Amino acid sequence: MCAATMLVFLTSNPDAQGRGAAQGRAGGPPPTAKAAAPFDPTGYWVAIVSEDWRWRMVTPAKGDVVSIPLSAEGLRVAEAWDPAKDEAAGEQCRAYGAPGLMRGPTRLHITWQDDSTLKIETDYGTQTRLLRFADAGRAGEAGRTGASGAKTWQGVTTAQWVMAAGGGRGRGAGPRHGSIKSVTTQLRPGYLRKNGVPYGDRAVFTEYWDMHTETNGDQYLVDTNLVEDPVYLQTPWITTLHFKKEKDGSKWDPSPCDARF
């Protein structure tokens, strides 16, 4: 009776069977992140710039910080933006750090670098991000606990699959669903917007990645994301981005960082 009841509980409760990183079968090692993937994020994706067009497709005027909850210090720094200084300092990639890059007019090329690392390349600014999959509950742990290391435009990203209830493996199992949660830290100070809206090296960039497949076969990758910055933001800047799957890389168009356009 007890065993049967417990079995019912375990098979009904999503927390027991799916949340967090996928677990291995009894006695075996857990599957790799690649093997556990409930959806296939690989391929070429293009940003559809249907929102904030005037702030994403072109460089807005200096001081145009609308929509971003800047602190007074953030606004002061944005008002001091000087692309010539950035160019002279070799900092023309400031708008291509992860939090700004993802809002850019870019294509993504996503591949598995290895069984536990997703590689995200962009043609806009020719950047490369690595999403390193960790155990359940550890996404972002390194950064939030103050791990040290070189600060880079793309920072250090830890990720995990967040599995949806239901689905699974084996005979009779339904399709698996889930999301990626990733947390990026160790960011080199950069811009949230091309016109010098800043984030600092203490910024934390959290993303939830979902994929939706339409009945006509179209696929969309949706990136719900939060930028937290204790210096330059009053409150987390929370937005979503959507990318559409392309059949191949024929429109891939690498362009270098540009501090002005």
Partner 1 sequence: MKLRIAFLFIGLLAMSMPASAQIELTGSYVPLLYEDYIERGPGSDLGDFTGMPMSDEGRAKALLYTSNLPSTIERQCLAQAPWVGMYRPLGMRIWSEVDRDDKVIAWKIEGDYLRDTLTIWMDGRPEPSPNALSTGAGFSTGKWEGDTLTVRTTHVKTTWIRRGNGIPASDQTTYWVHITRHDDLLTVVTIQEDPIYLTEPHVVSRVWRLDPRGNQGGRAICNTANEIPRLEDSGIVPHYLPGQNPEADFMMRTYNLPKEAALGYAQSLYPEYRHTLKSIYTPPASCGRYCCGWIERQGLPGAAPGLSCNDGGLGEINPIVRSKQGEGDGKAAPRK
Binders of partner 1 among 137-176, rule CB under 8 A? 162, 164-167, 175-176
Determine the distance from the C-alpha atom of residue 27 to the mean position of all C-alpha atoms in its chain, rounded to a whole number: 33
Comparing CB distances to partner 1, the nearer of 149 and 260 is 260
* CB of 97 vs partner 1, minimal distance in Å: 18
Instruction: Give the residue from 225, 242, 220 showing the smallest Cα distance to 100.
Output: 225
Which of 21, 36, 38, 81 touches partner 1 (CB under 8 A)? 38
Member of 75, 130, 136, 231 binding partner 1 (CB under 8 A): 75
- The CA-based angle 91-44-24, given to 5 degrees, is 100
- Interaction with partner 1 in 171-230: which residues (CB under 8 A)? 175-179, 181, 195, 208, 210, 212, 214-215, 218, 220, 222, 224, 226
The label of the residue with tokens 């043609």 reads 123
Task: Say how many residues touch partner 1, by CB under 8 A.
Answer: 77
CA distance 55 to 66: 9
Distance (Å, rounded) from C-alpha 257 to C-alpha 153?
12
CB of 221 to partner 1, least distance (A): 11
Helices (H), the chain: 2-12, 14-17, 33-36, 53-56, 72-79, 83-88, 98-101, 141-144
Tell which positions 227-256 bind partner 1, by CB under 8 A.
234, 237-242, 244, 251, 253
Nearer of residues 14 and 149 to partner 1, judged by Cβ:
14
Judge contact between 203 and 99, C-beta under 8 A: yes
In this complex, which beta carbon is closest to partner 1, that of residue 76 or of residue 114? 76
- The DSSP code for 113 is E
Report which of 181, 137, 211, 162 is spatially closest to residue 17, judged by C-alpha positions: 162
Residue placing its CB nearer to partner 1 in the complex, 171 or 261? 261
Minimum distance between the CB of residue 243 and partner 1, rounded to whole angstroms?
10
Residue 84 or 150: which CB sits closer to partner 1? 84
Among 30, 31, 43, 63, binds partner 1 (CB under 8 A): 63
- Report the C-alpha gap between 207 and 224 in whole angstroms: 6
Quote the least distance from Cβ 100 to partner 1, whole Å: 14
Q: Would you state the structure tokens that stand for residue 243, as one six-digit string? A: 């990318």
Q: Which residues within the stretch 101-140 sit at the binding site for partner 1 (CB under 8 A)?
A: 105-107, 123-124
